[in-house]
Structure 1
Amino acid sequence: MAAPTSEEPIDFHHPYTPYPVQLEFMRTVYDVLERGNGQVGILESPTGTGKSLSLICSAITWLRNHKRKGFDAGLDETKRQMVGEPEWMVETALRRKREELVGKWEEREERLERLRRKEKELEERGRERKRVRVEEGQMGGRKEVDEEEEFLVVVGGGEDERDEEGLSRETREMMVKVGLGGWKKEEEERDGDEGDGEGIKWQIYYTSRTHSQLTQFISELRRPEFPPSLPVEILEKDGKEETKETVKEITLSSRQKLCINPTVARLGSVSAINDRCTELQQSKSKEKCAFMPNTENLKQTHQFRDTTLATVPDIEDMYRIGKQLQVCPYYASRTAIPGAEIITLPYPLLLQKNAREALGIELEGSVVIIDEAHNIMDAVANVYAADIRLSELRRGRQMLGVYVKRFGKKLKGENRVMVAQIGKVVESLKDWLETQLQVKGDQGIADPNSLLKSRGADQINLYTLMKYIQDSKLAYKVESYIAHAEDSQDSSPKSSTPVLHTLVSFLAALTNLSTEGRIFYEKLPGDNPDIKLSYLLLSPTHAFSSIASSARAVILAGGTMSPFEDYKAHLFPELPGGKLTTLSCGHVIPETNLFVHTLASYKPGGLDTFEFSFGKRSDKTMIKNLGLVLLNICSVAPDGVVVFFPSYGYLDEVVGVWQQGEGDGGGKSIWERLEAKKPLFRDMSSSTGGGASSTDDILGRYSTAVDAPDRPHRGAVLFSVIGGRLSEGINFSDALCRLVLIVGLPYPNLHSPEWKARIEYLESTCVARGGSKEEAKVEAREFYENAAMRAVNQSIGRAVRHRGDWSGIVLVDRRYGMERVRGKLPGWIRNGMKGEGMDNRGVAGLMGGLGAFFRGKA
C-alpha cells in the first residue's frame, strides 16, 4: 500500500474521535515527515489539545505507511530485475520474496507476543521480583582496600586504547561479540524489513525535557493500535489474518537512572557513576561489574532486548527488567535500538554529539521530534554550560595535595607530569578568582586567556589534559581516595563533593569555540566571600547543526511556541524557506470558555496608566491601583486566581506596598482587604528560603484552600513569578485557576553581563552576515522581546488544560495593547481578544466583561 498523497484523507488510528485542530496538527506533522529531505516543522498546540497523542498517531502512522511503501518498492525492484523472464518465474520470485519478508515479520511478532504474555502473567500473579545476586563484596559494607590498586592512576604504554566512554579495546571487542557494538549489520539481517535496503534506518527519536514527561508520553504511546508494517493485502495473500502490531519502543537514559550495581549507583553524581562504571570495564580491572553484558549472559541480554521491544517500557520498566535478568539496562538497551521504531530519550542524550555516538544513535534517515520545544535553545545552552567556584578550586587543590602526598612517589612518567599540570590549572584559576574577589564590581565578563596566565598554565594543552583526565579517571580516583581516607578516620561515612568533576566540566567549556560562548564571573553573597566563574553558550546554532543536517525531518512541538522567529534564526539559520512549516493550532475549548482582556489603565480614558517597565514599576500609586484591580477581580472570580509578576524582587516590593496600613477601607491595608476576599499564598525565591519542597507545600495549601467545602466559591489567590517554579510544568486546571493575571512584561536585565554579551553577539553576527547596524539592533531587540514573551506565554498556558476547562486571562500593562507585542501571543489567545486593541475603558471596562463571563459560567 503506497503512502497517501497530501490530498487523500488519512486514518491516523487515533483512539478517540479527534477534534478538527488535532486533525490539522496530525496532517501537518505527517506532511513534514513525508516530504523529508531536511524538512523542519515548528508546531504549537495548546496544552489540553492532546498534543502528545497527536504526535504519536501522526508519526507512527507515517512510519508504518513508509515501511509498507518500502516493501512495495522492493517487490517492484524484483519485477524490474526480471523483465523479459516468463511470468511464472516472476510470480515465483515475488512469492519467495513475500514469504521471506512475511516469515521474518511473523517470527519476530510471535517471539515478542510470547514475551508480552509472560510479562502479563507475572503482573497478574503478583510474583515477587527476584533479588539481584551480586558477586562477593558488591553489596557494600567495609572491606580491606588495596589503595594503590584502587586509587593509583596508571596510564601509558599505548596498549589500552579507549573509546569515547573510556572503554578498553578488550571490553569493546567483547561488546561486539554480544551485539553491543558493530550491531548494525547483524540486526538488519535479523530484521530485514527495517530500513530502505541501503543502510538507512527509519526510526523516530522523541525527546523531552524531563523523565516524567517521557514517562507521560510512553503512557500515551500505549493507547492507540496501528496496523502492521507489512501491507495488509500481502498478509492476506499469504493466508494471514489482518492483525495489529505493537509499537516497538525503547527508552534511553543515563547510567545514573539505569545502573543496577549498588556500589556504583550509590555514588550519586553522574560524573562519579560514569567514571566508576567505565573503570570497572577496563581490561586491567580485577573487579569487573557482574551486570555488564558479556558472552556468559548473552541469553539474558537478548531477552532484555526482546522484552523491552515487546512491552513499550518506561524508564522504571527498563530498570526493573534489567534487575530481573541481572543484566545492565544501560548497556543492554543498545541492543534494542536497531529493532525499535521509536526511541525516547532526554534532551542531553540527543543534543550532545558524543552522547549520541556513545549510544550508537544514527540520525541519518530518521525523524527527530522535540517536545516541550519552547525551551530548546535554553536546553542546548544548559547542556554546554559549566561553572566553578573559588571555594571548589581551593578544595580541589587541597584534595590534589593529599593525593600527591600519598601517591606522588608511585606516579610514573606521563602520570606525574599530567597531575602536576592539573595542579597548575587549578592554581591559575584560583589565583585569578582571588584577585577578582578584591576588585570592585560584583559581576562581569572574564577574558579566557587571562584565566590561565598564572603558573605557566597557558602553556598547557587543554585538549591533551582533558583526554588524560578521561582515560585515567583521575577525578574519580582522587575523589574516591579522599572519601576513603576521610571515612577511615571517622566512623560516620562521608561523601566527597565532586569538585574535580566540576573542574573537568569547566575545562571542557574552555575548549569550546570562543566566538560562540562567554565566561562570566559573579561574586556570591554570604558570610564567607566566594566568587563563581560561569560559561554561557551564546548561540545554539553550531551545537544543533549536526542534528538539523542529519535527520530526515525535525519537529519542534510545544504548547506555547510563539513567537516562532527565534527558532529559525538561531537553530536553522541556513534553512531555505521552502523547508520550514509553522503551525499555531487553536484550542479545543469553545470560544465561550475563554475571556482575554488587556488592561492599559486604571481609569477610563487612559488615566493612571499601567506600565511596569523598570523605570516606572516602583510608582506606589500604580502598585496600589493594581491591588484595587485585584480586589475587584476577587469579588467576582470564583475559585482560584493565579497572579504572575515579572520577578521575585518585584513581587516582594508589591506585597510590601500592599501591606502598608494606609489608604481606603477603614485603615485596612490592601493586603488585609485581599485576605478578607480569599486566602493568599505566594511563591518564594530560592534566596529567601524557597525550594522544591516549599513549592510543593505552597501548592498543597493553595489547592486545599480552593477546594475548601465550607465556602466553595471563595477560592484562593496564588502569587507567583513569570519564569519561576510555578510558571512551567504545573497543571492549574479547573477550579485551581479560573483567572490568570499577568502583571507587566518580564524583560531580562539588559545591564547584566550575560545579556550584554548576548546582544553584542547578536548584533555582531548580523553585521557579519552583511546586515546594517540598524538591522542588527532590530534583530537583537526582537530576540530580547521574544525571550520575554515566551515566558509570558508559558505562564498563560498554566490555565485551560482540557476541553471542558474555562478561564479568564487579564494582561495588565499598556504595552500588551501594542500590535508588536500582541502579535507574539499564541494564536488562540489573540483570537480570544476578539479584535480588542488598546483598552481605554479602565477597570470598569474589565469588570463589565469579566462579570458577564463568570455569570455565564455560574
Structure 2
Amino acid sequence: MPSNTPTNFHHPYQPYDVQFQFMRAAYEVLEKGSGQVGILESPTGTGKSLSLICATLTWLRIHKRSRYEASFEATSAGMAGEPEWMVEAALRRKREELGREWEERERVLEGVRLREREREREAAAARGRERGAKRARVDDGGRGAKEVDEEREFLIGDWEGGGGEEEGSGALSKETRELMEKVGLGGGGKRREEGDGEVEDEIKIYYTSRTHSQLTQFISELRRPTFPPSLPEELISSSAKDGEKPTTETVKQLPLSSRQKLCINPSVSRLGSLSAINDRCTQLQQSKSKEKCPFMPNTENLKQTHEFRDAALATIPDIEDLHRVGKELQVCPYYASRTVIPGAEVITLPYPLLLQKSARDALGIKLEGNVVIIDEAHNIMDAVANVYAAEIRLSELRRARQILGVYVKRFGKKLKGENRVMVAQVGKVVESLIECLNGQLGAKGDQGILDPNTVLKARGADQINLYQLIKYIQESKLAYKVESYVSYTEEEHEPSTSAAANTARSTPVLHILVSFLTALTNLSAEGRIFHEKLSATPPDIKLSYLLLSPTHAFSSIASTARAVILAGGTMSPFDDYKMHLFPTLPTNKITTLSCGHVIPSSNLFAWTLASTKPIPLGSTSPLDPFEFSFQHRKDPAMIRQLGLVLLNVCSVVPDGVVVFFPSYGYLDEVVDAWQTQDAATAATQPTLWDRLAAKKAIFRETKGGVSEDILQQYSQAILSPPPPAPSTSEQQQPPKRKPNGAVLLSVVGGKLSEGINFSDRLGRCVVVVGLPYPNIHSPDWKARLEYIESTALSRLLDDGAGAGPGPAETQKARAQAKQAARDFYENACMRAVNQSIGRAIRHRGDYAAVVLVDRRFAAERIRGKLPGWIMAGMAESADRKGLQGLMGGLSLFFKGKKGGPP
C-alpha cells in the first residue's frame, strides 16, 4: 500500500477486510493521476456503494486540501526575493480570505438546512393542505378551443439552414442560453457571481448507475458517512460560541435527470414522452412563442433560483427533493440545477445522460479532469449499445406518412424557402424507408442484415444530407409541431379515439424517425442494420440499428476523465472491458480487483454436477453427462435426470430454491416434459412435476409476465407461518405432507436474474442449468462476432513488424482473432451466469448453496471466469462425485444451520 493512502476512510461502521481492500484500491486509482482506470468487483452484500463513497469522498477532500496548500506554496514561490514579512503577510491575507469564504458558505448552507427541517415539520403537521401562494397556471395553448391560432401555434417558423450551434435533443435553446448568461446562470466553466466562492473547475465525481431507483439508493447511502472539511484545519476559525472548530462538512451533491423527471410545468409534463416534453419546453423559450414558461430562471426569479441552488447544496437531495423544492420556489428544477453544478462535489445521473456526448453538452457536464464512477458496470457495454441503438417499424412509418400528409395539406402553401425543401426531404426519407421495408416484408426469411446503402436508395433519399436533415427537425421543432397539429385535429373530430391513440403511442413517430436517422449517421463500420418480421395483424416488420462495439462511443469518456472506475458485484471476467472499452490504454494504467465475500467460508457451498453417476477410477469423462448444449439439451433422459436431481435437492434444502434455465423456450420444454406422465409408470407413480410440488410449492417465471407478482407469491410461500396443527379428530387420517418452502423456476438474463435479492430464506440454494450462450446463429450475434474477429485481426496484423506479416504470422493472427471472438461470446455467457449466482448471498450472516449443473462448468477455462469468491468455495473434484456426492455435501452443509434439512 502506498504511503500516502489513508487508513481512515470515514466509514460509518467498522469495515470488513474486503471493504478496506476495495476502498484502498479505489483511492489508489484516483491518486495515481490522469488516465487511470479501475475495474473493481465486490460481491453484492459487501457494502460496495458505501465503500465507493468513503474511498472517493475521502480522496476528494484530501485532494482539495492539498490544492489549497499547493496554492500557498505557489504564492511563496512567486514572491521569491521579497522580504519575509511581506510573504507572510500575503499568505496570511490569503488564508483569512479563503477561510472567510468557506465559513460564510457553510453558514448560509446551515441556515438553509435549518429552514428545510422547519418546512418538513410544517409539512408533516399540515399534510394534505395546500401550502404557499396559489401556483401559477399555464394555458396549454387552448387545444380543442375555437380561438386557437393554428398558424401561430403549429406553423414552422423561418429557419436558416447551415448556421447555429448544433444541439442534442435535450440542449438549451439559443434564447435560453442568452437569457441564462445574462443572469449569470450559464455553465461552461464560467465563474459564478461574485462572492459565491465556487469555481466551475472544482474537481467533481460523476456517479452513474442503470436505474433511477439505484441512484436513489446511492444517495441514501451518501447520507450515512461524514467527512472532514475540504479546507485545511488551520484556515478554519473557532466558533465564537464554544471555541470549537467544525470537524465535518456536508457533501455537496446534485442529482441530474431529464425534463421528464423534473418538469413542474403541468402543460408540458403531461405530454408524457421525453421527446415531446423536450420539444414543447424549448418551444416555450423561443422569442416567437405565444406562451412563455413562467418557471424558467430569469432576472425576475433570480432570488428563487439562488435559493434553489443553496437548498440543493445543503441537503443531499434526490430527484423527488429537487422537484419538490422547484415547485415550492416556482422555479424550473431542470434549468436551475445548472446553478448547482459549480459547487457540487458529487453529481449523480443515469447511464444515458453520461454516455451520450450530446446529453452531457446539454447539461453542461465537463468530464475533463473529473472522476467518473460507473456502478452496476457489468452491463456497461450493453448500456452503450442501447443508448446508440434505434428501431422503427413499418406501421410507424405509415403513420408518419399519414400525419405529414395532414400537416402539408393544411400548411404546405404557407411553407417558404428552406422549410418547404426540408419538409419534402423528410417525406422522401419516409417513403424510401417504407419501400425498403415493404420489399423485406415479402422476402424470404424472418430476419437478416441489410446493406445500409440500400435502406435509403429509393426516391433518391440516399442523396440527402442526413446530418442537416436531423438538425433541421430538431431546431425547427417539426416533429412536435406536426404531432401537435394532428393530435389537435383528431381531438376536434374524435376526442375518444385520439386519446386512445395517444396512449398507445408513447413516443411520437417523427421522434422515432429522428432517433433512427441519428443512428444511421454513426460510424458504418461499428454498426449494422437488421430487419425482423413481427407476428402482428396486419403484418409488420422492424428495422433496427445495433452498435457492434462500444469502443468509439466510450472513447470520449475514457480519454478525458481524470479516472474511470467500473464497479459491480459481478464484473468477472474482466478481459472484455479492457479490450472493448480501453483498447489503447497501457496495462499499467488499469487496476483490477476481485474482492472476496464478507461471509465466512462455511456459509457457502459450491458444487459442479457433471452427471448423476460418479466418474469411475481411471476414467476422465462422466457417464451420461449433463451437457445442456443446443445439440443435446432436448434429450428426454437428461431432462428426466435433471428433474430427479432437483427433487433430491428440494428434499435437503430448506425454504427457497431458485433454478435458472438458459432460456424461456427451454424452461417451457422442461416443464412440459416433467408434467407429462411416463406411460411405463402411469399407474404407479405421479409425474415428476407432482412429486416436486409435494416437496415445495412451485413458481415459474414466464416471458412477458409480471415479475413482482411471481416474487411476492414465492416469498409468501416461504415466509408465511405454517398452518395450525390439526385437531385430534382430524388426525385419524394420516396427514398429507405440506410442501416445505418453494422452488422458483427462472431464466438467466430474465427479470428475476438481475436486481432482485433472494436473501436469507428466499435463496438457500441457487441451481444454474447449463451455460446460457446467446444464439450464435442470430443475425445480431453473427454480426457482432464477425466484427470483433475482423477488428482483432486488423489490430494484430498492424502490430506486425517490418514490411508485413508472412503466411505463418497471418495464420497465427487469424487463429488469435477467432479466439478473441470466442472469448467475447463466452464472457457474455459467464457474466449472465455470475449475475444469477450473485442473487443469493446478500449479507455477512447469509448462507446458501450454489449448484452448477453441466459438465462444462468443470472446464478450467469456464471455472476461471467465475467470481473469485465462488471459485474459493467450490468443492474439490465435485464434478467426479455425482449426485450422491452432491446430496452428501448439501446435507452436511445445512446440518447445524438454522432451519436445516426438513
TM over 0.5: yes
**2:658 paired with 1:642:** yes
1:233-290 deviations in Å (ceiling 9; x for gaps): 3326897613210000000000111111111111111111111111111111121111
Among the aligned pairs, what percent are the same residue? 68
Is the Cα contact below 8 Å between 1:200 and 1:364 reproduced in 2? Answer: no
Q: Distance in 2 between matches of 1:629 and 1:622?
A: 10
Deviation at 1:136, TM superposition (A): 5.0
What is the match of residue 147 of structure 1? 150
Counterpart code for 2:703: S
What is the match of residue 224 of structure 1? 225
What is the match of residue 586 of structure 1? 596
1:582 is paired with a residue whose SS is strand
1:349-400 deviations in Å (ceiling 9; x for gaps): 0000011111111111110000000000000000000000011111111111
Deviation at 1:453, TM superposition (A): 1.1
Is the Cα contact below 8 Å between 1:814 and 1:838 reproduced in 2? Answer: no
Equivalent positions of 1:174-323 (< 5 A) are 174-182=179-187, 184-187=189-192, 190=195, 192=197, 200-235=201-236, 241-323=245-327
Q: Distance in 2 between matches of 1:353 and 1:55?
A: 25
Equivalent positions of 1:77-156 (< 5 A) are 77-126=74-123, 127=126, 128=129, 129-130=131-132, 133-135=135-137, 137-138=139-140, 143=145, 144-156=147-159
What is the match of residue 761 of structure 1? 787
Counterpart code for 2:774: P
Question: 1:405/1:797 Cα in 2 relative to 1: closer, same or farther (>3 Å)?
Answer: same
What is the match of residue 851 of structure 1? 891
Counterpart code for 1:748: P
Q: What runs of 5+ residues in structure 2 fail to find an aligned partner?
A: 616-621, 724-737, 798-812
Which of 173, 177, 184 lines up with 1:172 in the alignment?
177
Between 659-668 and 530-539, report the one with greater CA deviation: 659-668
1:184 is paired with a residue whose SS is coil
Is the Cα contact below 8 Å between 1:155 and 1:471 reproduced in 2? Answer: no
Between 266-275 and 707-716, report the one with greater CA deviation: 707-716
Counterpart code for 2:590: L
1:613-672 deviations in Å (ceiling 9; x for gaps): 000000010000000000001101110100000000000000010001126693311001
Between 126-135 and 733-742, report the one with greater CA deviation: 126-135
Counterpart code for 1:618: K
Deviation at 1:735, TM superposition (A): 0.6
2:712 is paired with a residue whose SS is helix
What is the match of residue 651 of structure 1? 667
Between 360-369 and 181-190, report the one with greater CA deviation: 181-190
Counterpart code for 2:139: G
What is the match of residue 457 of structure 1? 461
2:776 is paired with a residue whose SS is coil
Question: 1:147/1:44 Cα in 2 relative to 1: closer, same or farther (>3 Å)?
Answer: same
Counterpart code for 2:246: E
Equivalent positions of 1:192-591 (< 5 A) are 192=197, 200-235=201-236, 241-492=245-496, 494=499, 496=502, 497=505, 498-591=508-601
What is the match of residue 803 of structure 2? none
**2:855 paired with 1:814:** yes
Deviation at 1:770, TM superposition (A): 2.4
Deviation at 1:181, TM superposition (A): 1.7
Normalized against structure 2, the TM-score is what? 0.91
What is the match of residue 667 of structure 1? 685
Is the Cα contact below 8 Å between 2:611 and 2:623 reproduced in 1? Answer: yes
Is the Cα contact below 8 Å between 1:191 and 1:339 reproduced in 2? Answer: no
Q: Distance in 2 between matches of 1:458 and 1:538?
A: 23
Counterpart code for 1:844: Q
2:591 is paired with a residue whose SS is strand
Deviation at 1:171, TM superposition (A): 2.6
1:40-78 deviations in Å (ceiling 9; x for gaps): 000000000000000000000000000000111111112
Deviation at 1:167, TM superposition (A): 4.5
Counterpart code for 1:202: I
Deviation at 1:90, TM superposition (A): 2.1
Deviation at 1:408, TM superposition (A): 1.0
Question: 1:8/1:448 Cα in 2 relative to 1: closer, same or farther (>3 Å)?
Answer: closer
1:187 is paired with a residue whose SS is coil
Is the Cα contact below 8 Å between 1:643 and 1:717 reproduced in 2? Answer: yes
Is the Cα contact below 8 Å between 1:377 and 1:540 reproduced in 2? Answer: yes
Is the Cα contact below 8 Å between 2:10 and 2:58 reproduced in 1? Answer: yes
Counterpart code for 2:643: G
**2:34 paired with 1:48:** no
What is the match of residue 839 of structure 1? 879
Counterpart code for 1:627: G
2:306 is paired with a residue whose SS is helix
Q: Distance in 2 between matches of 1:63 and 1:280?
A: 40
Deviation at 1:764, TM superposition (A): 0.7
Q: Distance in 1 between matches of 2:569 and 2:102?
A: 38
Q: Distance in 2 between matches of 1:538 and 1:132?
A: 53
1:536 is paired with a residue whose SS is strand
Counterpart code for 1:415: N
Q: Distance in 2 between matches of 1:34 and 1:705?
A: 50
**2:638 paired with 1:622:** yes
Q: Distance in 2 between matches of 1:831 and 1:622?
A: 29
Q: Distance in 2 between matches of 1:740 and 1:166?
A: 46
Which of 767, 779, 791 lines up with 1:741 in the alignment?
767
Counterpart code for 1:719: L
What is the match of residue 798 of structure 1? 839
Is the Cα contact below 8 Å between 1:171 and 1:283 reproduced in 2? Answer: no
Q: What runs of 5+ residues in structure 1 fail to find an aligned partner?
A: none
Is the Cα contact below 8 Å between 2:395 and 2:540 reproduced in 1? Answer: yes
Is the Cα contact below 8 Å between 2:878 and 2:885 reproduced in 1? Answer: no
Q: Distance in 2 between matches of 1:673 and 1:265?
A: 54
2:830 is paired with a residue whose SS is helix
What is the match of residue 708 of structure 1? 720
